[in-house]
Chains A and B, each alone.
Chain A
Amino acid sequence: MNNVKVSTKNVNVHYGTKQALHRVTLDINEKEVTALIGPSGCGKSTFLRCINRMNDLIDICKVDGSITVDNEEIISDEVDVVSLRSKIGMVFQKPNPFPKSIFDNVAYGPTIHGIVETKTDLEEIVHSSLKRAGLLKEVKDRLHEPGTSLSGGQQQRLCIARAIAVNPDIILMDEPCSALDPIATATIEELIDELKNKYTIVIVTHSMQQAARVSQRTGFFHLGELVETGETQKIFTNPENEKTQGYITGRFG
C-alpha cells in the first residue's frame, strides 16, 4: 500500500520576489488521503497547485526543485502539461461546474482527451463517474439540466465526477468543503473515504477535524515551510512540533 506516488524534494516557489514555499520535501503515498493543513497563506494551496502545474497560469510564479509523479520528473519544460493534468484531477474550493448540462460537464474530459469512441461509451463513462461520485441517483432524471442548477454539495460532487471521468491517478482537492454545509460536507467526506481505494488523494483543508477524519497522513504548513508531516493519528493527538501543536489546538499566534 505504501508506494510513494508523488515525491517532492526541495520545492521552492517564488511569486516575483516573494518566496511562497521553502524547500518543501514531502512524499505522498499511493491510495491514501494526504491532508495539508495550515493557516491561510501558508502555501498549502500553492504546493497543491505545483503537483498539476496549475501554477504555470501565474506568470510571475517560478517553481524549482523536484517533483516526481510515478518517478517521472514533472518540473520541466518538456513535460506535457495537458497529459499530466489528465492524470491528476483537481477539485476547487468553490464548486465550479461549467455552465453546461450535467451530462456535458462530466462528458467534457473524456471528449477532449478522446477517450471514448462512441456515444454509448460516453454515456457509460458519464453514468459510472456520476455513480462513483454518489450523484447518479439524485440527477439521473435531469442529466440535461444545467450543472449550476444543483445545490452546492451536489455541484461539488459533480466536479468530482467530472474529475474522475478521465480516470486520473491522483485527485487534488483544494478546500473542497469550505463552501458547503455540514451535511454536504459529510457526503463529500464519505465520498473521499470511498475514493481513496482507487485514487491517491491530496486534500487541502482548513478544518482540522476534517483532516483528522478523512486523511491517513497529514502535513502541516506554516509560512511556506512544511513544518511537520506524519500519520494523521499522530499529528492530531501528539504532534512533535510546537507550531503544529499550537495551530491544531487553536493557540496560534
Chain B
Amino acid sequence: MSNQFSHEKIIQLRKKRSAADRRFKTYGLIATVIGMAILFFLLFTIFSKGYSSFQKTVIELDVTFDQETLKITPNATYEEQVEAKFFKVKKNAIANALPDLSKKDIKLMKKMFSINVDKEIKEYFLQNPNILNTTQKLLVTAHSDVDQMLKGNAKRNIEEKKRKLNDRQLEFFDEFVFTGRLKSKFNNFFFTNADSRHPELAGIAGSFVGSLFTLITVFLLAFPIGIGASIYLEEFAPKNKFTELIEVNIANLAAVPSIVFGLLGLGILLNVFGFPRSTPLVGGTVLALMTLPTIIIACRASLKAVPPSIKEGALAMGASKMQAVFHHQVPLALPGTLTGTIIGLAQALGETAPLIMIGMIAFIPNIPTGFTEPSAALPVQIYLWVESAERGFQEKTAAAIMMILIFLFLMNAIAVFLRSRFERKW
C-alpha cells in the first residue's frame, strides 16, 4: 500500500501526464502569439499606410491682393469682399509661382495646386481685409499628386506616361523642394470635410457624422424594443410551443446575413413605406433590426443571471411581479444588457452590406445635419475610397479604417466602464 504510488509504471504515467500538461500550455501560448502577431501586423499595416493622410502638403505662394484685380475698393462691405475676384488673384499668383513660366507651363503649374486654393485665398483675405494691395506669402494646399510625390507614395523614376506628374512638373516640384516652398502641414480637411472627388480635400467628417446618426437611430430603436422583448419573454410570457418557437427564431435571426436585412430595408422601408433613401434613419432602422437579436440575447442572459433569490425576496415582500422585475432584476441585468447593446452597436457600426442596399453608398459631399438627410457611413466610405483609382485615396482608406477602429475602441471602453460602474455584487 505504502509504495503503490512509487511503482515504476505509475511514475512513468505521471511523467507522461505532466509532459502533456506542459505541451498543452505551449500550444496555447503559440496560438496566442500567432493571434497577437496577426493583429499587430494588421494594425501596423493600417497605421503605417494611414498615418500620412493626417498630413497634407502645402506650397508657399506669393499672393498679391491688388484692388484692381480683385475689383473692390478698400472700404468695400463684407458682401462685396465675398464677391471679389479671388480666382484672378490665384491665377496671377500661380502664374508667378516660379519666374519665367510659359503659357503651357502655367497650365501645368495650375495642375499642381488644389482646386481649393481660391477658397483658401478668399478665406485668408476675409479674415485679414487690411492686406489689400500687399503681397502675402500664403501656404496653399497642393494637388494630391504633388502630395503623394512628396510623401514618396508615387514613384518618379518610371515612364512619363505612367506618372501623374510629367517631366516639366517634376522640374517645378524639385524647384519648390529646393527653395523650401513645399511644406507638410496637419491635414485639417481630413477631419472637417465630407467626401470629395479630390483626394487632398476628402475627409471623413461626413461619414463619421452619418455613422453617428445611424447608431443613435439603432440605439433608440433597438435598445427599448430589445429590453422590452427580453423582459416579456423572460418574465411574463407563458412557456409554450409558441414562445419556444419565438425564442428559436430570435437565435436564428442573429445568424441571418446582414445583406438580407438590407434587402428588407430596400423592399419594405424604401419601396413600401417610402422612407427617404440613403439616410441615417433608414440605415439605422435596418441595422436596428439586425442588432435586435444580439440585444435580446444579451439582455435575457443577464436577466437569467440575476439570482432568483432576489426576485423571490421581492415577491415575498409583497411586490407585484412588475415591481420585482423593474426594482430588482432590471437594474441588476442592466450592465450586462448595456455591454451586449454596445457590442451590437459596434457590429452595426462596421456593417456595410445593408447600407449599400439602401443606397447609403451614394457620393455625398456634405456633412449631414439630420436623420433624414442623405449621408454616408464610415464603412461605406472605406468601401468607396478603396474602390477609387486615385492614389491619394489609398492612404485615406487606411486612415478611415483607423478612425473606425478608434470609434470601436471607444465604444468598447464605454462598455467596460459601464459594466464596472453599474455592476453590483450580490
On whether A and B touch (CB less than 8 Å), the answer reads: yes
Binding site for B on A (CB under 8 A): 52, 54, 57, 59, 82-86, 89-90, 92, 94, 96-99, 108-109, 112-113, 146, 148, 159, 162-163, 166
CB nearest neighbor in A for B332: A99
- Knowing A112-B323, A148-B425, A148-B426, the reply to whether A99 touches B318 (Cβ < 8 A) is no
Report the minimum CB–CB distance from A119 to chain B (whole Å): 19
Q: How far is the CA of A89 from the CA of B317 in the complex (A)?
A: 6
Q: Is A85 within 8 A of B310, CB to CB?
A: no
Q: Is A109 within 8 A of B317, CB to CB?
A: yes
Query: What is the interface size of chain B, counting residues whose CB is below 8 A from a CB of the partner?
Result: 22
Tell me, yes or no, whether B132 is within 8 Å of chain A by CB. no
8 Å CB interface, B309-349 against A: 309-310, 312-320, 323, 327-328, 331-332
Cβ contact of A98, chosen from B314, B315, B320, B425, cutoff 8 A: B314
**14 CB < 8 A contacts A-B:** A52-B316, A54-B312, A59-B239, A85-B315, A92-B312, A92-B313, A96-B307, A98-B328, A99-B328, A109-B318, A112-B323, A146-B424, A162-B313, A163-B316
Q: How far is the CA of A6 from the CA of B317 in the complex (A)?
A: 19
Q: Is B318 within 8 A of A82, CB to CB?
A: yes
- Knowing A98-B328, A99-B332, A148-B425, the reply to whether A57 touches B320 (Cβ < 8 A) is no
Q: Is B313 within 8 A of A98, CB to CB?
A: yes
Residues of chain B with a CB closer than 8 A to A99's CB: 310, 328, 331-332, 424-426
Q: How far is the CA of A188 from the CA of B361 in the complex (A)?
A: 69
CB nearest neighbor in B for A59: B239
Residues of chain B with a CB closer than 8 A to A112's CB: 317-319, 323, 327
Nearest 8 A/B pairs, CB to CB: A90-B316, A86-B318, A96-B309, A85-B318, A99-B424, A96-B313, A99-B426, A109-B317
CB nearest neighbor in B for A97: B313
Residues of chain B with a CB closer than 8 A to A146's CB: 424-425
Residues of chain B with a CB closer than 8 A to A82's CB: 318-320
Report the minimum CB–CB distance from B243 to chain A (whole Å): 12
Residues of chain A with a CB closer than 8 A to B317's CB: 85-86, 89, 108-109, 112, 162-163, 166
Q: Is B239 within 8 A of A98, CB to CB?
A: no
Chain B CB count within 10 A is highest, among A57, A99, A146, A148, for A99
Binding site for A on B (CB under 8 A): 238-239, 307, 309-310, 312-320, 323, 327-328, 331-332, 424-426
Report the minimum CB–CB distance from A108 to chain B (whole Å): 6
Residues of chain A with a CB closer than 8 A to B426's CB: 99, 148
Q: Is A98 within 8 A of B310, CB to CB?
A: yes
Q: How far is the CA of A84 from the CA of B315 in the complex (A)?
A: 11
- Knowing A82-B320, A96-B307, the reply to whether A57 touches B313 (Cβ < 8 A) is no
Report the minimum CB–CB distance from B197 to chain A (whole Å): 57
CB nearest neighbor in B for A108: B317
Residues of chain B with a CB closer than 8 A to A108's CB: 314, 317, 319, 327
Question: With contacts A99-B426, A109-B317, A148-B424 known, what are 7 further pairs, Cβ within 8 A?
Answer: A54-B315, A59-B238, A86-B317, A89-B317, A99-B328, A108-B314, A163-B316
Q: Is B312 within 8 A of A96, CB to CB?
A: yes
Report the minimum CB–CB distance from B304 to chain A (whole Å): 15
Residues of chain A with a CB closer than 8 A to B239's CB: 59
Report the minimum CB–CB distance from B318 to chain A (whole Å): 4
Q: Is B313 within 8 A of A166, CB to CB?
A: no
Residues of chain B with a CB closer than 8 A to A94's CB: 309
Q: How far is the CA of A97 from the CA of B313 in the complex (A)?
A: 8
Chain A CB count within 10 A is highest, among B239, B307, B318, for B318
Q: Is B316 within 8 A of A89, CB to CB?
A: yes
Report the minimum CB–CB distance from A199 to chain B (whole Å): 15
Q: Is B318 within 8 A of A113, CB to CB?
A: yes
Q: How far is the CA of A97 from the CA of B366 in the complex (A)?
A: 56
CB nearest neighbor in A for B331: A99
Residues of chain B with a CB closer than 8 A to A98's CB: 310, 313-314, 328
Cβ contact of A54, chosen from B316, B328, B331, cutoff 8 A: B316
Q: How far is the CA of A146 from the CA of B425 in the complex (A)?
A: 9
Residues of chain A with a CB closer than 8 A to B328's CB: 98-99
Q: How far is the CA of A97 from the CA of B424 in the complex (A)?
A: 13
Residues of chain A with a CB closer than 8 A to B309's CB: 92, 94, 96
Report the minimum CB–CB distance from B337 to chain A (whole Å): 16
Report the minimum CB–CB distance from A34 to chain B (whole Å): 18
Q: How far is the CA of A112 from the CA of B324 in the complex (A)?
A: 10
Residues of chain A with a CB closer than 8 A to B331's CB: 99
Q: How far is the CA of A126 from the CA of B315 in the complex (A)?
A: 19
Cβ contact of A57, chosen from B307, B312, B424, B425, cutoff 8 A: B312
Report the minimum CB–CB distance from A18 to chain B (whole Å): 18
Report the minimum CB–CB distance from B328 to chain A (whole Å): 6
Report the minimum CB–CB distance from A54 to chain B (whole Å): 6
Q: How far is the CA of A235 from the CA of B290 in the complex (A)?
A: 65
Report the minimum CB–CB distance from A43 to chain B (whole Å): 18
Residues of chain B with a CB closer than 8 A to A59's CB: 238-239
Report the minimum CB–CB distance from A236 to chain B (whole Å): 29
CB nearest neighbor in B for A96: B309
CB nearest neighbor in A for B238: A59
Residues of chain A with a CB closer than 8 A to B238's CB: 59
